[in-house]
A and B are shown apart, each in its own frame.
Chain A
Amino acid sequence: MQLFVANLVVARGGRTIIDDLTFDVAGGEALLLTGRNGAGKTTLIRALAGYLRPIAGSVRLDGFDPERDVREACHYVGHLDANKASLSVMENVAFWQGYLGDGGSGTAAGDALWAALERFGLDALADIPAAYLSAGQKRRLSLCRLLVARRPLWLLDEPSVSLDAASTVLLADVIGEHVAAGGIVIAATHLPLGLGAARELRLGEQVAMS
């Protein structure tokens, strides 16, 4: 599994945000996107997930079913939590598990769901509507998506926002395990996530040079 990004140009609102960016990430690697505000971290992540159509350049994921779109290989965790306030913690995760996963059900899926809730410390809250959760708990709830539906490419935009120190360590562990299993993680972040071996891509530099 390897992600190739070649000569990517992305504009928003008539402004070129990402200009001629080329990089690649192999399976088993984590890439941290850093850079000042407005350097294009969110834009790059949204372009990789297929929300933004690039003006030029290509995004290719080798080792993924060529019949399927790259977006079907992606997990996207953005600034918004994508949880429904009136659904319980369990219902929220179960919906995304079924919707994003490959339709697996039965006891295996149920076990994966409970494992994810336990991992993020939400198992005691399984029947509580998401509306009652604190900001950190909501964030952990949306991170559960990553574990219940298996997808190789994780695109995380400021995933540690509103997480406390212990949860941030937990997130780093989860990311580490995904990488160790051969997955790819691309995370935009202000804060060091505590990922020792991760590569770093500083955005905004090449724009400043030109």
Chain B
Amino acid sequence: MQNQSITQRLANPTRFMQLTDWLMPLTAAIAVVVIAAGLYLALFVAPPDYQQGETVKIMFIHVPSAWLGMMGYLMIAISSFGLLVFRHPLADVSAKAAAPIGAAFTLLALITGSLWGKPMWGTYWVWDARLTSVLILFFLYLGLMALRSALDDESLAAKQAAVLGLVGVVILPIIKFSVDWWNTLHQPASVVKLDGPAIHSSILVPLLVNAVGFSILFLALHMKAMRNEVLRRRVKALRLAEVERAAKRERTAAAPAE
């Protein structure tokens, strides 16, 4: 009976492991090719900006990173919903795996943004609306990971992190909107926005190629992290079963004596 219930719970992850066994390396390879093409287009084909010079090329890393930082959170929110509502066995694995990856892309966006800001604005950091809201997104990622690591019981940690993930997704637009408004009241100038009409196709094409490449990279990393997590849980289940068996042996040995 007991073995059956464990296998039942692993049934779905097993299919996932089989699928990703070949899908993960394939996605990783595609990501490498697309990003290589995107970087080539960005570094050698795209013209330097007449105003910003070569520094504009940081944008080819910065913008896709920022998008994926947000996509990572979306992934966590969908997974959290899947865990709390449908109790899907892979949902928590997905949420847990997405958090560090999303946080890494968010951090990358913050660092590249400030490297770009130094020559452009003369400072590494300004309290611009966009920077601030991305920074808060980064804090939310940190909170999610810290909450998970602070709870010893894994199934409890999974559900508590899912609750926080969903609260974050409700609050994020409110934060973003409040920060936008705060900024326009305090610092209307000095905000350089990329989404103006000024984007030329020689810049837009490599940017989009890079965005696609980063997204595929995200998927590959996410798959890999999920595989690791599934394997880690299997090891844990095997160890628990080992302890259980030992306890059972002790009991049957002690039984005649009773």
Interface residues of A (CB under 8 A from B): 9, 11, 13-16, 19-20, 55-56, 207-208, 210
Contact = CB atoms under 8 A, between A and B. Distances in A.
B236 A14 contact: yes
Given A15-B244, A19-B2, A210-B1, 8 more contacts: A9-B5, A14-B155, A14-B236, A15-B240, A19-B1, A19-B5, A207-B2, A208-B252
Contacts of A207: 2
A56 B1 CA distance: 12
8 contacts: A9-B5, A11-B5, A13-B153, A14-B155, A19-B5, A208-B252, A210-B1, A210-B2
Contacts of B5: 9, 11, 16, 19, 55-56
A94 B239 CA distance: 49
B232 to A, nearest CB: 12
Contacts of B1: 19-20, 210
Contacts of A13: 153-155
Sorted from nearest, which 9 A-B pairs have the closest CB atoms? A16-B2, A19-B1, A208-B251, A210-B1, A20-B1, A15-B240, A19-B2, A14-B240, A13-B153
B248 interface: yes
A210 B153 CA distance: 26
Interface residues of B, number: 15
A193 to B, nearest CB: 22
Q: Counting chain B CB atoms within 10 Å of each CB, which of A13, A14, A208 scores highest? A: A14
B237 interface: yes
B189 to A, nearest CB: 55
Contacts, number: 28
A13 B244 CA distance: 13
Nearest to A208: B251
Interface in B104-137: none
Contacts of A55: 5
Contacts of A208: 248, 251-252, 255
A16 B2 CA distance: 7
Given A19-B1, A55-B5, A210-B2, A14 B244 contact: no
Contacts of A14: 154-155, 236-237, 240
A19 B237 CA distance: 17
B249 to A, nearest CB: 11
Contacts of B154: 13-14
A30 B2 CA distance: 29
Contacts of A16: 2, 5-6
Contacts of B240: 14-15
Nearest to A11: B5
Interface string B31-73: 0000000000000000000000000000000000000000000
Nearest to B247: A38
Interface in B160-218: none
A19 B1 CA distance: 8
Nearest to B156: A13
B179 to A, nearest CB: 39
A117 B6 CA distance: 49
A16 B248 CA distance: 14
Nearest to B251: A208
A19 B155 CA distance: 19
A55 B89 CA distance: 13
A183 to B, nearest CB: 33
A210 B244 CA distance: 12
A9 B236 CA distance: 20
Contacts of B244: 15
A86 B19 CA distance: 59
Contacts of A20: 1
A112 B1 CA distance: 48
A208 B247 CA distance: 9
A55 B154 CA distance: 16
Most buried by A among B2, B154, B248: B2
Nearest to A204: B251
B170 to A, nearest CB: 24
